[in-house]
Structure 1
Amino acid sequence: MARRAAIRMTADELVRYVADRTVVTVATMGPHGRPHLSALWYVPQDTDPAATPPVPPLRLASWTYARSQKAVNLGRDPRATLLIESGDSYDQLRGVSLECDIELVTDTEAVADIGLALARRYTPGAEVELLRSVVAEQAPKRVGLICTPTRIASWDHTKLGGTY
């Protein structure tokens, strides 16, 4: 158990790690009882490392097509597990698993706000008004996803100093 505690990220490390990464893998429950995995871009929200138990309020926002399998799955069961990870060798493995309750956002203006936040994060330097117009065209076909963790597990094997 001490080893597990040694690799766990602090709240501050967790917030920084999630902010620095760009892709989250989302697992929803498919219609036939098997996990459905998909990758999404996301925007961290409410990142307050000073928060107290059970987990820091580390919410993620994203969007997807309203008719996508993940959106349909979340309409049926609004729970998902999210995974953000990095590292190519054991001593470099870092990641966070977030068991989340997912809020599906259907208000077009709110969906557009999420889309604009995503566009600004993933196309730095682009003209905001251009991004806003592109997002406005997409928003009616999409739903927003607000992912609120109920349980977080993290690991950072770089803390082991190369030992196993």
Structure 2
Amino acid sequence: MSKKRSLIAMTDAEREAFLAEGRTLNLASLSPNGRPHLVAMWYCLMDDAIWCWTYAKSQKALNLRRDPRVTGLIEMGERYEELRGLTLWADAQITDDPTQVLLVGRELFARYQPGLVEDFLGSAPKRIAFSLRVDEYASWDHRKLNGRY
């Protein structure tokens, strides 16, 4: 790792705080033709794992059933010296257990749409949930350079 790279890498604690603060996970799975299928996902943290849900018949669900490997990106910042981000490489573990799917849905809507939880949970029977078993992270926080490059 280069000297600059090591200066901006997040510690484990910083990474966990960033995950908790982050809002959108850009998630790439592999399409049938081998090209990335990139989508923006809401996520929640439960039991030390990143969780999402999607419609069972969606392209991303089909992709994950065929090949669970994914790459994800969460990023923040408007100016170069503010940029923070986290890339993750993971395997998705799908569940269609109704209790777990509903639990993930409740967590997601409590986080992103408080007050509307019950309105959106009607779609739970048509959904799956998946957790991400992360193999590797890469992170950066340009704020650590204090404007010096």
The number of equivalent residue pairs is 148
Runs of 4+ in structure 1 over 6 Å off: none
Partner Cα separation in structure 1 for residue 145 and residue 119 of structure 2: 48
Partner Cα separation in structure 2 for residue 149 and residue 22 of structure 1: 18
Q: What's the secondary structure of 2:72's corresponding residue? A: strand
- Unmatched segments (≥5 aa) in structure 1: 48-58
Partner Cα separation in structure 2 for residue 142 and residue 17 of structure 1: 27
- Unmatched segments (≥5 aa) in structure 2: none
CA distance 1:5–1:75, shift in 2 (3 Å): same
Q: 1:131 aligns with which of 117, 125, 146?
A: 117
Q: C-alpha offsets along residues 89-135 of structure 1, whole Å, 9 cap, x if unaligned?
A: 221110000101100111122111110111111123x2xxx724641
Match of 2:148 in 1: 163
Q: What's the secondary structure of 2:57's corresponding residue? A: coil
Q: 2:125 aligns with which of 140, 157, 164?
A: 140
Q: 1:111 aligns with which of 101, 113, 116?
A: 101
Q: What's the secondary structure of 1:84's corresponding residue? A: strand
Q: What's the secondary structure of 1:112's corresponding residue? A: helix
Establish whether residue 67 from structure 1 lines up as the match of residue 66 from structure 2: no
RMSD: 1.4
Q: C-alpha offsets along residues 13-70 of structure 1, whole Å, 9 cap, x if unaligned?
A: 11111101111000001111100000010002345xxxxxxxxxxx210100111111
TM-score, normalization: structure 1?
0.85
Q: Between the two proteins, what is the percent identity of the paired residues? A: 43
CA distance 1:109–1:46, shift in 2 (3 Å): closer
TM-score, normalization: structure 2?
0.93
